[in-house]
Structure 1
Amino acid sequence: MRNPYEVLGVPRTADAAAIKSAFRKLAKKLHPDANQDDPKSAKRFAEINQAYEIIGDEKKRKAFDRGEIDAEGKPRFHGFEGFGAHPGAGAAGSPGGAHFENFSFGPEGFRRAGGGTGARGFGGGFEDILKDVFGAAAAGQGGRRTGFGGMPFEAEDMHQPAGRDVEAAVTITLAEAAKGGTRRVHLPTGKEVEVKIPAGLADGQQIRLKGQGLPGPGAVGDALVTVTIAPHPLFERDGANLRLDLPVTLYEAVLGGKVRVPTLDGAVELNIPPGTSSGRTFRLKGKGLPAKGATGDLLVGVRIVLPKEHDIELDELMRHWRDAKPYDPRRDME
């Protein structure tokens, strides 16, 4: 995946508000609901969601800027610090005087193939590393295992967990949160799995995938997938309800009429009564998000929008109206 800053078209110095604004503009432009005839828009929409998932989150953004994760949120491998990663460490005969020892693994467990002082940074902890990483495979006969240099140690000394959970994240659309669906998710283990998204999932909720974590001697951990719901270009979430800012013309507000209103299930008609003021809210029952025992509503707020072009006739009409029938909508504010 491309650099998330390039995907959203923002510099690395952009603040959180600028990043969110850039994402919302692109999401509105490339949302699949508005580009049903363009298959490329869905791929591009997924790309900007992935980019926002990285740099729209403060912790992930810092981790990406430090080079700890890549553009897909996967950890970057930086090697082990103990292997000569600090001044003074090196091969035999180097100024540091340290060298690496060779090890082999066979029926008798781990064996040292060469002598020496060992690599600096290991100290007495190297045997513990071998136990943690290779303990399950290095089991000997009779419940005994061989440790560093062939030294035996008892199986009960291996305090290794049964398995470890891993964490991943996925961003879904508002429609997927409402109706459910499936998504492919990359796990830190390297696997790519298909995750079922249940209808009514809340933002930040986790899905547990049994047995998709890291293995241990007795069991395998789980994968915890945190779900983020991407901002929608039209709807704002308010619990189980959705809010929509609906632009109407001046004559629709004054004279009333039927207007088309988008919902997650398709457009419906809303009857605007005559004399509707800007800011009035209409409730469409059951057009929100699924919730326990019920479904939320769609709250439609009216916003009167004047024509972009300057209209002389409208100016004259308003002057006549102002002089003939003046009124003060702010009189109760004093």
Structure 2
Amino acid sequence: MADDPYAALGVSRTATEAELKKAYRKIAKADHPDLTDDKAAHDRFKAASAAYDLLKDPDQRARFDRGEIDAQGQERAQRRYYRDFSEAQGNPYRGEANYGDFSDVFADLFGDGGAAGGRGGFGQGWQSGGRGGARSFDMRGQDHRYTLEVDFLTAARGGTTRITLPDGNVLDVTIPAGTRDGQTIRLRGKGGAGMGNGAAGDALLSVTVADDPDWRRDGDDVVTTLPISLDEAVLGAKVEADTLDGPVMLTVPAGASSGRKLRLRGRGLKGADGRRGDHYVELRVAMPPVVDDELAEFIRGWRAKNAYDPRADRERGGR
């Protein structure tokens, strides 16, 4: 990723969360590897994905802005010198040429593993080069962060999607049912290579769920719109409706109006507790493509005897 994640997304440092998401999606739609074979486009998409993954997290963004982490989300090395350590207040070896215990120094530089060897040792991570010489150490590889966009139904139902990592490896990633926008999927051992005998890091996939014109999410509930004909709305009917589990026959009550919602219990999304939400089917009365003379004449006769004002309650409520 570029050293400046804001530049990778083409936004300013004051960009809002919505502006970050809009910029990322614009790049994804133009440069995603599934849409083009252009290597430069792939590089732009890779940089934008890593940048968005870093900046969309408010805490990570703030730490990057303060210079605490770099553009890859890794801690910036703190420059420390042995002289600072040796002259620190309370150091028993301050001002003396006694180098008997470096454990705190290596713990500071390499983490607790650097001090694991105890007094006078370089820790378990160091490999002896014979005659007391240290020649290498083991370090776990870095975690690599990416953004993965999946379609709504794959996120809702669960499934697999194929991705290509920057090193060229192709993986089939399992998407759990009920995956949410912003959820992270961890691929163990698919990150940066370790040093020495250190294990490889992980690949962290931050999921972006694409919008779907036919499905809406409301927590663990889903909402769809079902067109019904004029006669079905008046007389009632049994019609087929799509659900996450496949089509079902739905009973439309007689006299149904547009906007009425029918509830299908337990057919929504799988929640964190394993239980599923509900599916709400919103009815929309669709007029016939052509209103012929017979229908028009019938309605005129019906209106003469049964006219009503559907806006009456709204007008009274507005006074």
Q: Which TM-score applies when normalising by structure 1? A: 0.54
Cα shift readout 1:145-184 (whole Å, capped 9, x = no counterpart): 6xxxxxxxxx79xxx9742111223333333323322222
Is 1:58 equivalent to 2:23 in the alignment? yes
Is 1:187 equivalent to 2:165 in the alignment? yes
Deviation at 1:282, TM superposition (A): 0.4
Amino acid at match of 2:193: P
Does structure 2 retain, via aligned residues, the 8 Å contact 1:215–1:221?
A: yes
Amino acid at match of 1:267: P
Q: Who is 1:308 aligned against?
A: 289
Out of 127, 142, 159, the residue aligned to residue 164 of structure 1 is 142
**Corresponding residue SS for 1:163:** coil
Gaps of 5+ in 2: 1-19, 32-38, 49-124
Q: Who is 1:201 aligned against?
A: 179
Q: Who is 1:251 aligned against?
A: 231
Q: Residues 293 and 195 from structure 1, CA distance in 2 versus in 1: closer, same or farther, beyond 3 angstroms?
A: closer
Amino acid at match of 1:70: H
Q: Distance in 1 between matches of 2:311 and 2:213?
A: 33
Q: Residues 247 and 72 from structure 1, CA distance in 2 versus in 1: closer, same or farther, beyond 3 angstroms?
A: farther
Mean Cα deviation higher: 260-269 or 243-252: 260-269
Is 1:277 equivalent to 2:249 in the alignment? no
Q: Distance in 2 between matches of 1:316 and 1:328?
A: 20
Gaps of 5+ in 1: 1-54, 77-135, 146-154
Deviation at 1:289, TM superposition (A): 1.2
Amino acid at match of 1:59: Y
Q: Who is 2:201 aligned against?
A: 221
Q: Distance in 1 between matches of 2:26 and 2:40?
A: 10
How big is the alpha-carbon RMSD for the aligned residues of Structure 1 and Structure 2? 3.2
Q: Distance in 2 between matches of 1:257 and 1:277?
A: 13
Q: Who is 1:330 aligned against?
A: 311
Counterparts of 1:1-334 in structure 2, within 5 Å, are 57-59=22-24, 61=26, 69-70=41-42, 73-75=45-47, 143=133, 162-217=140-195, 218-291=198-271, 292-334=273-315
- Number of residues paired by the alignment? 206
Q: Which TM-score applies when normalising by structure 2? A: 0.56
Q: Distance in 1 between matches of 2:194 and 2:298?
A: 79
Counting aligned pairs with the same residue, the percent is 44
Q: Distance in 2 between matches of 1:143 and 1:220?
A: 26
Q: Distance in 2 between matches of 1:262 and 1:249?
A: 17
Does structure 2 retain, via aligned residues, the 8 Å contact 1:162–1:221?
A: yes
Does structure 2 retain, via aligned residues, the 8 Å contact 1:242–1:288?
A: yes
Cα shift readout 1:279-327 (whole Å, capped 9, x = no counterpart): 1110011221111241111101111110111312221122222221111
Q: Distance in 1 between matches of 2:302 and 2:201?
A: 73
